Chains A and B, each alone.
Chain A
Amino acid sequence: MGPKEVVALLVGLALLVGTVFLPPRPTRWVSALCVFAAAFVGFRIALSPAASAVIATGLALAAFAYLPALAQRRVVFLVPAMVVLIFATTLLMYAAPGNPFANERVATPTVEAALRAKYGVPKSATDFFFVYMGRLIREGTLGPSIKVLGRSVEDLLLPAFPVSVSLGLFAILLSVAIGASLGVIAGLKKNSAADYASMALALIGVSFPNFLIGAGLMVVFAIWLGVLPVAGWGGYAHLVMPAIALALPSAAVIARLARGGVVEVMQQDYIRAARAKGLPESWVVVRHALRGALTPVVSYLGPAAATTMTGSFVVEVLFGVPGMGQWFVKGAVNRDYSVVLGTAIVYFGMIIVFNLLVDLAYVWLDPRLRTQKAGDA
């Protein structure tokens, strides 16, 4: 990693921070532009240039007109962040010892040069970044895999994508279900046995890494009890243990957030006022308290998605799930640069989309954010 590259990275990061200070009106325009760029490149991988241009234009217009200010600001940050992420990942890959061709038996300089030209892997990280980005934008491809002969990165990732997405979504749903219910019960019965029990459970969830939870689950449910398959993919039974292993760490955080939210909201004047109206306690909790109490949980869903997805690298490999995690791990071990970048882009893209959904949900939940103009955000 040369000094120039480090400087470029720092400038990129500074620009990212700078987006925070972008005034409201340009934010609207730039966000539409960012949506267009991201959508165009994203759909290019699967569709023709014309079709993806049409879809991207539609999405950009929709974003310009309807996206809440909060979410527009998020787009303006996240899409350039994707470019910085690709650059940073490139630098890190090149900084790691070895290269894709280091293990080849015939590694004469001429052969290596030919291979590098064929796969688009120049010797300098910056050159690789430009080759990669150019290919991504012009040809709409994540590039050929260097180690899996004759296959492009999208060929490898496309079948794995639905697997990872279904596992990830199921894990997030599970973490919300477990975390929110434990947290709400704990918050309503503050300092009771139920409170201590669920917070102890949350502490376990936070403290143990997911692969340890996964291994523990395997031992108990697959080996001792024999009720679930040890590993593999196919039926719903295969989904259970990896999803739990992925869900528990986030569930623990969600439980703590939900408990805090409930405790705080139940002390609000409007809860006492609702009781003074003669409403049943269950209605007071469900109708008047939960929405406010669970907004911190919703705002955590973005980071939770990130935790779950990165967690799935390890958990997928542990449980032999044919998702994208295996390609990330294999790609990193083999120094298969384009595979590593491809998985990183897909994961980060999913995190972006999830964060936007969370922002939209947030605005939908809290009416006070709805009337805000871009300038107040």
Chain B
Amino acid sequence: MTSSDPLVEVSDLAVEFHTPRGLVRAVDGVSFQVGRGEILGVVGESGSGKSVTSLAILGLLERPSGRITRGSIRFDGQVISNLDERKLRRLRGDRMSMIFQDPLTSLNPYLTIEEQLVEVLEFHRGTPRAEARQRCLELLTQVGISEPAERLKSHPHQLSGGMRQRVCIAMALLCDPSLLIADEPTTMLDVTIQAQILELVRSLRKTREMSILFITHDLGVISELCDRVIVMYAGRVVEEAPTAELLRNPKHPYTEALLESTPRLDTPHGGVLRPIPGLPPRLGTAPVTECTFAPRCRHVRPQCREGEPRLLPLEGTTRSRRCIAPPEEIGAD
């Protein structure tokens, strides 16, 4: 296997959930790749399927209500979407790990930091306690925690929010994973702490050659961190592009609308924020007969109602989009 192979390859993934309101297809036909050492941003509003996609990669979909119904996930050349729980468990926390949105609720309030860190090494590596403790101290230092020996004895409630997220990051890195999935890790933090955490993630990528799947709804975070971005809407990827190009020149009407609804520093004074009219569609399992964004789209045309466009590469670029409107009509040019 060459190192140019993608680390993660998601193809045509569909995930369905049984809910009290019936079957819901939360993710439908999602395909993307994460290159080695790449930071891929996933952006989209709540319910667009970005978190579900990441949980599907880790095999953490709530069973029995949620399951993968179509498509496959490959990790480091191996298909993992059909692995049994035992084999998946060996990958989780070891080769791929995850940090969550709320560092307070994702740490167990009843256990000390040491107890929660050491168990990862004990289960995956069988590391003896003293050695594991040493490794934990190293990692806490690396993620910028002062007095790590003291912190090991603490319980989560004795730490500040930023400190807790650093602990979560250290926990995710204990086994040197090749893939880190970060599910909105800065959303619950103060802006200054956010910046510190982003800086930490950036420096970790540099020193470790780790791939990161960074999920967020914050375009500002995307622009600071990610190499490439996929935009999700209603369980689908609607656009994929290198970060700078996507932010400067969106080629899908949803991305365009998303950018126009986000405040930015580089727009002239008096620039107007335009909210996206309407609401995302309710996700059922009925066959889709039109573009899912058509009801809210500014560039809508009769053909949009005739069938869902496919995600296709845009001629002469490294990007792709799920739209039939002429590219000149959308974005900067």
Contact = CB atoms under 8 A, between A and B. Distances in A.
Given A278-B94, A291-B110, A368-B109, A273 B100 contact: yes
Contact of A270 (B85, B92, B109): B109
B124 A278 contact: yes
Contacts of A283: 119, 123
Size category, A interface = 20 to 34
A292 B60 contact: no
A273 B155 contact: no
B110 A292 contact: yes
B312 interface: no
B69 interface: no
A366 B123 contact: no
B157 A368 contact: yes
Contacts of A281: 85
B109 A274 contact: no
Q: Which of A273, A366, A367, A371 has the most CB of B within 10 A?
A: A273
B89 interface: yes
Given A269-B102, A272-B106, A368-B109, 15 more contacts: A269-B100, A270-B108, A272-B100, A273-B108, A275-B60, A276-B100, A277-B120, A278-B90, A278-B123, A278-B124, A288-B111, A291-B110, A365-B110, A366-B109, A371-B158
A234 interface: no
Contacts of A368: 109, 155, 157
Nearest to B86: A280
Given A268-B105, A283-B123, A287-B119, A278 B110 contact: no
Contact of A288 (B91, B102, B108, B168): B108
B26 interface: no
A269 B85 CA distance: 20
A270 B106 contact: yes
Contact of A276 (B60, B105, B111): B60
Size category, B interface = 20 to 34
Interface string A252-296: 000000000000000011101111111111010001100110000
Nearest to B101: A269
B89 A280 contact: yes
Interface string B87-118: 00111111001101010011111111000000
Contacts of B158: 371
Given A287-B119, A367-B157, A276 B92 contact: yes
B108 A278 contact: no
A288 to B, nearest CB: 5
Contact of B123 (A276, A280, A288, A371): A280
B109 to A, nearest CB: 6
Contacts of A366: 109-110
A276 B93 contact: yes
B92 A277 contact: yes
A278 B92 contact: yes
A272 B150 CA distance: 26
A294 to B, nearest CB: 10
B58 interface: yes
Nearest to B90: A278
A270 B104 CA distance: 9
Contacts of B109: 270, 292, 366-368
A268 B111 CA distance: 15
A268 B89 CA distance: 19
Q: Which of A268, A274, A277 has the most CB of B within 10 A?
A: A277
B110 A279 contact: no
Nearest to A288: B108
Nearest to A365: B110
Contacts of B90: 278
**Interchain residue pairs A-B with the least CB separation, the first 6:** A278-B93, A278-B92, A277-B93, A269-B105, A273-B106, A367-B155
Nearest to B58: A276
Contacts of A273: 98, 100, 106-108, 168
